[in-house]
Chains A and B, each alone.
Chain A
């Protein structure tokens, strides 16, 4: 058990969301450091000193050659053993938006028990063909082993991406991942009752990118590595909601819906690491 949970929030090369990602971990009771990827490569800092790793959103390398691709390669080739050691030590990892794209492209998600870093899925261009910022409603699979999403049913969060359509070359894999609870979080029609996540692709803009099976995020078989396209860190306080001026009463302001995810991981790390 660790007194102070330390979070490495990666930065550099067009990662943009490190400030708010650090902030939400701090709000959840951890201490967070901004860690430039090159400081891990040159040995000035080490992932071994941290309990949680976060790959924040942004536009690493301008999304050229496919979002997350070049940053994924920097990690896959430049930090391969450090990253594998971190995951094999059962330490939580989260990738948000561009960070999720990085984890998928480097093969850490949906991943495998061996942490082989083999890419099996991808995030394609939204069917709309362009970037969009809009709010979506997510539904979580409570059967999932994901430690980040314990107790969550639904959440309202912004999506902000152009390449968020989760696909795979082998559709049979989707059944395997569904079975193992790795399809943790999906876009859902907010007017329906929980649970109602469906495999049928929901209409735009309920599913903003036309992701297969409405997948918004997945975890690895262990449930420790988690990634999602939407931005829970952008809903850390009630006054950041899309319709808070309609649905939050004066005097009822406080923590936003997205904070549960970060609290879960910090509590997990405190209890287990």
Chain B
């Protein structure tokens, strides 16, 4: 394609038909009203396609309605502006904004357009390019709303460009026009040599300016490696610089040793002091001590932990035929900079972790858990950050597109709000995978089987300048200088084609080893797998590029998406390539696995990196860190004087708080039922709008064995104690799973830590406290998981969730997402949360204590009192042995069919749980708390109604089953509370004293109103 190749500009808009709105325009209008309170008269959207290709005039004309515009519902044009067509737009708009991608940014619609063009005109293959844009035309714009302001809300300058027609331009018919986003080829740089024989200050400078995120000790370890006479001798023989790394080597080490890839804080040696107990001890690796050890101990007791810790996700045997795996990842920093692209990359990225597990697993379910700043945040937003509502909308759209387009149902999730997520949102994306225990050729699918000589294929997308330094970038705090190259947009179509192809190749026995190209790109994927055979030889010159002229180190570390690295036996290469061609997937042989002991990277004949496997993977020096725990002090909660109706009104306000409120508007736009396996869905009840607890899926069509998937996340408790936060998260995940009737003998967990930087430094003077929070969280994980017999099969940590913008530092509250996957013996016995029938008896299983510290109620009272009321008090304590015994009794009762409904008591306590169960039945309830008040000595009605004690499940039972149910629960705390009532009244008393009355319908309206995203709902 030459520079003189003509560009045809196609425009498409909705045809003016009665009963056919411009839904794209209406969505923009709704978004402006919902996010910003700006009401414009009307918005029209014109889709633009710039086609750079040698088409004849006739061909160009034909493509209008054969490809770009729908002949029934759209109007299209080529090389003429629709805005000039008075038949379509009878009056001129006041403001027009055109937005399109910057050169080099993934343009999925453009790629699809190109594919469509080649279907019609195959002769232009390799000679054509398509870029898309959107043109927004506005009428009746309120005074004060400028075109620049509108443009700023419609594009993200980090990845997009905008052209604007202001009011005068519109009068004159000067419509905005972006030129074709051409990306000039780069000048390929010859590998540089980095002299490390310099001062310590200079070593650190090299790390900082190069975005390497290596500390002084690590830089010194690299320096020492290149001083080793044996190494020097070897390098001399290879023709490499003897005493200094090449840029490719240094970059490869930085990726492999990044916090993101090698979890240095979890591997560190920690000196821990507890100023309360006087403890002064040393912990040699939190990971080995508190995560790996308990799981390995459980592995000795059970036979279903197939693969843990060493692969892309942990694998458990589900039955004799099938195994399940699960992984959760975070994609926080990219989502802060480009919410849509960052989140989409997150979800399709974790899907690849599943595809790269064992010899390849099929992703069958996604989970999405987000933490954002409050959607109604009205404080100052530091420059460089988006308002939380925009982050929310963008992240949601990215995950929706990534999951839906990939055909993977989003079955479970949560959305949490707190001011401190303003700096970095947390975007947790999880995926469950399914694979046959054995492949047709007899190999166990959870074991990789590489041998030296296997050919290394890069499969899927091409390598570009996008995603360079993602791994090291996420190991740094966010600043205004954060690079746009760390941001990418996922490409679900390329990935879906690749996924189809890989699974077919797996079943044909063509795959020996496979892994994802995520953080660190080829340097990590090939580098890690090289450890299995003892070496690899990679030729960067044959790697397909989407950006010409990339330098060797850039090709090596680029994290361009939708790529897998696969090892194939030489004899299978032809079949593997044929399969790739059939699926229209690019698969390129880029190297060979060896047993040479080194990861060798070449650019054709020239070696650009030679890294001994041992040094690459074990050379990173252990961090030494300081931890000191002194519990924080908080003011106590001040409880207002409240009668029963006041309490009802307070419950209404509690139900409306974003953390409690219904997320239905958002969740409904995820496909949760593709694969036809969804047994317990995100919503239940007579109107399909009551909240579900855990998801239950029956992934083998027609069979009734199921899998349970749940999540627990309660960052609030970190404000008092990260131990309690962790314990509560684990219990919440398990409690949710118990609510649907999980098989407690086959449950596994995933620990996903997101922390602020816990390393003491000038920037982080409170590092010791933050590290102590991490120590306490790990101890909780260890103790609670052991007690629940709940092994952690996979996990992840993201340790730099701070943002410093213009001198202002915002750190997230320490946050753990605990995800759970378990077995369900018979999905026909699964239980949903909605009350079923008027007259059913209501029970509370589990003990209630006066535990209101850092509860949702405490934050409500704090916010309503302007900070007068504190959040201090007792945080929920965990008694896992007692809880587990009750959970076993309850799930057994469910197996007997004795339980009509079961719902988790968490945010907002018992009162919120009762309300939610009533929503599902369109019913009221009458509840007497007297039994609950006997659980402990110091409880009052605040604690009974709103306390968040762990290990509690609200259950309803048909009257004829009550006797059997009570017998089944004997020996466990299980209080008869009352019954499901006809009508709208929720009445809660303590004996004769009314303590709360409320209208179910009003509570439901409040609960559903807060996070209604707009539109016709």
Q: Which residues of A contact B (CB under 8 A)?
A: 11-14, 16-17, 19-20, 23-24, 27, 36, 38-39, 42, 57-59, 61-66, 69-70, 73-74, 77-78, 105, 119-122, 124-135, 158, 160, 165, 167-169, 201, 204-205, 210, 212, 231, 233-237, 239-240, 242-243, 245-246, 250, 253
Given the interface pairs A20-B675, A160-B673, the reply to whether A36 lies near B583 with Cβ below 8 Å is yes
Given the interface pairs A13-B497, A158-B673, the reply to whether A205 lies near B1017 with Cβ below 8 Å is yes
Across-interface contacts of A242 in B (CB, < 8 A): 681, 684, 688
* B86 at interface, CB cutoff 8 A: no
Given the interface pairs A77-B119, A129-B23, the reply to whether A167 lies near B72 with Cβ below 8 Å is yes
* B594 at interface, CB cutoff 8 A: no
Q: What is the 8 Å Cβ interface bit string for chain B, positions 654-692, against chain A (1 contact, 0 not)?
A: 000000000000001111111111111100111010000
Across-interface contacts of B678 in A (CB, < 8 A): 234, 240
Give Cα A19 to B698, complex, Å: 13
Q: Min CB distance, B741 to chain A, in Å?
A: 11
Q: Min CB distance, B122 to chain A, in Å?
A: 9
Given the interface pairs A11-B500, A242-B688, A245-B834, the reply to whether A125 lies near B23 with Cβ below 8 Å is yes
Across-interface contacts of A234 in B (CB, < 8 A): 673-674, 676, 678
* B20 at interface, CB cutoff 8 A: yes
Let me know if B676 and A20 touch, CB within 8 A. yes
28 contacts between A and B (CB under 8 A): A13-B497, A13-B584, A16-B674, A27-B702, A57-B674, A58-B407, A59-B406, A59-B492, A62-B112, A62-B493, A64-B112, A65-B109, A69-B67, A119-B70, A121-B72, A122-B72, A125-B23, A129-B27, A131-B400, A133-B669, A133-B671, A160-B673, A169-B73, A234-B673, A234-B678, A237-B702, A245-B684, A246-B836
Interface residues of B in 975-1017 (CB under 8 A from A): 1015-1017
Task: Identify the closest chain A residue to B405 (Cβ).
Answer: A59
Across-interface contacts of A239 in B (CB, < 8 A): 679, 698, 704, 827-828, 830
Q: What is the 8 Å Cβ interface bit string for chain B, positions 330-344, against chain A (1 contact, 0 not)?
A: 000000000000000
Let me know if A134 and B70 touch, CB within 8 A. no
Given the interface pairs A12-B500, A240-B678, the reply to whether A253 lies near B828 with Cβ below 8 Å is yes
Q: Min CB distance, A114 to chain B, in Å?
A: 18
* B66 at interface, CB cutoff 8 A: yes
Q: Which of A61, A78, A124, A126 contacts B493 (CB 8 A)?
A: A61
Given the interface pairs A69-B116, A128-B23, the reply to whether A133 lies near B1015 with Cβ below 8 Å is no
Across-interface contacts of B109 in A (CB, < 8 A): 62, 64-65
Give Cα A39 to B24, complex, Å: 36
Let me know if B405 and A73 touch, CB within 8 A. no
> Which 10 pairs show the lowest CB-CB distances between chains A and B?
A16-B407, A64-B112, A23-B701, A129-B27, A20-B676, A125-B23, A122-B72, A245-B832, A59-B405, A129-B23
Task: Identify the closest chain A residue to B18 (Cβ).
Answer: A171
Give Cα A108 to B170, complex, Å: 42
Q: Which of A63, A121, A128, A201 gathers most chain B CB within 10 Å?
A: A128
Task: Identify the closest chain A residue to B496 (Cβ).
Answer: A14
Let me know if B679 and A240 touch, CB within 8 A. yes
Give Cα A271 to B457, complex, Å: 49
Let me know if B112 and A128 touch, CB within 8 A. no
Let me know if A250 and B685 touch, CB within 8 A. no
Let me know if B827 and A204 touch, CB within 8 A. no
* B809 at interface, CB cutoff 8 A: no
Across-interface contacts of B1016 in A (CB, < 8 A): 127-128, 204, 210
Let me know if A59 and B404 touch, CB within 8 A. yes
Interface residues of B in 464-504 (CB under 8 A from A): 492-493, 496-497, 500
**20 more A-B contacts (CB under 8 A) besides A119-B72, A121-B72?**
A12-B497, A14-B405, A14-B493, A16-B674, A17-B675, A23-B676, A23-B701, A27-B702, A62-B492, A65-B67, A66-B70, A74-B119, A122-B73, A132-B669, A204-B1017, A233-B676, A236-B676, A239-B679, A240-B679, A245-B831
Give Cα A210 to B1015, complex, Å: 13
Give Cα A253 to B74, complex, Å: 46
Let me know if A59 and B407 touch, CB within 8 A. yes
Across-interface contacts of A39 in B (CB, < 8 A): 582
Let me know if B584 and A62 touch, CB within 8 A. no
Task: Identify the closest chain B residue to A134 (Cβ).
Answer: B668
Across-interface contacts of B108 in A (CB, < 8 A): 62, 64
Give Cα A124 to B18, complex, Å: 13
Q: Min CB distance, B120 to chain A, in Å?
A: 6
Let me know if B676 and A240 touch, CB within 8 A. yes
Give Cα A133 to B370, complex, Å: 20
Across-interface contacts of B671 in A (CB, < 8 A): 131, 133, 160
Across-interface contacts of B704 in A (CB, < 8 A): 239, 253
Q: What is the 8 Å Cβ interface bit string for chain B, positions 821-843, against chain A (1 contact, 0 not)?
A: 00000011111101010000000
Interface residues of B in 95-136 (CB under 8 A from A): 108-109, 112-113, 115-116, 119-120
Across-interface contacts of B584 in A (CB, < 8 A): 13, 38
Q: Which of B17, B400, B684, B701 gathers most chain A CB within 10 Å?
A: B701
Give Cα A36 to B584, complex, Å: 11
Given the interface pairs A119-B71, A233-B676, the reply to whether A169 lies near B17 with Cβ below 8 Å is yes
Across-interface contacts of B27 in A (CB, < 8 A): 129-130
Across-interface contacts of B832 in A (CB, < 8 A): 245-246
Across-interface contacts of B66 in A (CB, < 8 A): 73
Across-interface contacts of B400 in A (CB, < 8 A): 131
Let me know if A133 and B24 touch, CB within 8 A. no
* B717 at interface, CB cutoff 8 A: no
Give Cα A132 to B667, complex, Å: 9
Let me know if B23 and A133 touch, CB within 8 A. no
Across-interface contacts of A158 in B (CB, < 8 A): 673
Given the interface pairs A59-B407, A129-B23, the reply to whether A70 lies near B116 with Cβ below 8 Å is yes
Give Cα A195 to B867, complex, Å: 59
Give Cα A52 to B583, complex, Å: 23
Across-interface contacts of A62 in B (CB, < 8 A): 108-109, 112, 401, 405, 492-493
Task: Identify the closest chain B residue to A203 (Cβ).
Answer: B1016
Across-interface contacts of B404 in A (CB, < 8 A): 59, 131
* B897 at interface, CB cutoff 8 A: yes
Give Cα A128 to B1017, complex, Å: 8
Q: What is the 8 Å Cβ interface bit string for chain B, positions 607-618, against chain A (1 contact, 0 not)?
A: 000000000000
Q: Which of A65, A121, A231 gathers most chain B CB within 10 Å?
A: A65
Let me know if A135 and B688 touch, CB within 8 A. yes
Q: Which of A14, A122, A236 contacts B70 (CB 8 A)?
A: A122
Let me know if B497 and A243 touch, CB within 8 A. no
Q: Which of A23, A167, A204 contacts B17 (CB 8 A)?
A: A167
Across-interface contacts of A66 in B (CB, < 8 A): 70, 74
Q: Which of B14, B582, B681, B901 contacts A38 (CB 8 A)?
A: B582
* B19 at interface, CB cutoff 8 A: yes
Let me know if B672 and A133 touch, CB within 8 A. yes
Task: Identify the closest chain B residue to A211 (Cβ).
Answer: B19
Q: What is the 8 Å Cβ interface bit string for chain B, positions 568-600, against chain A (1 contact, 0 not)?
A: 000000000000001110000000000000000
Q: Which of A70, A121, A133 gathers most chain B CB within 10 Å?
A: A133
Q: Min CB distance, A207 to chain B, in Å?
A: 10
Give Cα A125 to B834, complex, Å: 33
Let me know if B673 and A133 touch, CB within 8 A. yes
Across-interface contacts of A124 in B (CB, < 8 A): 14, 20, 23, 73
Let me know if B702 and A23 touch, CB within 8 A. yes
Give Cα A70 to B679, complex, Å: 33
Task: Identify the closest chain B residue to A27 (Cβ).
Answer: B702
Task: Identify the closest chain B residue to A67 (Cβ).
Answer: B70
Given the interface pairs A11-B500, A12-B583, A61-B116, the reply to whether A160 lies near B685 with Cβ below 8 Å is no
Task: Identify the closest chain A residue to B362 (Cβ).
Answer: A19
* B30 at interface, CB cutoff 8 A: yes
Let me know if B701 and A236 touch, CB within 8 A. yes
Task: Identify the closest chain A residue to B668 (Cβ).
Answer: A132
* B8 at interface, CB cutoff 8 A: no
Across-interface contacts of A77 in B (CB, < 8 A): 119-120
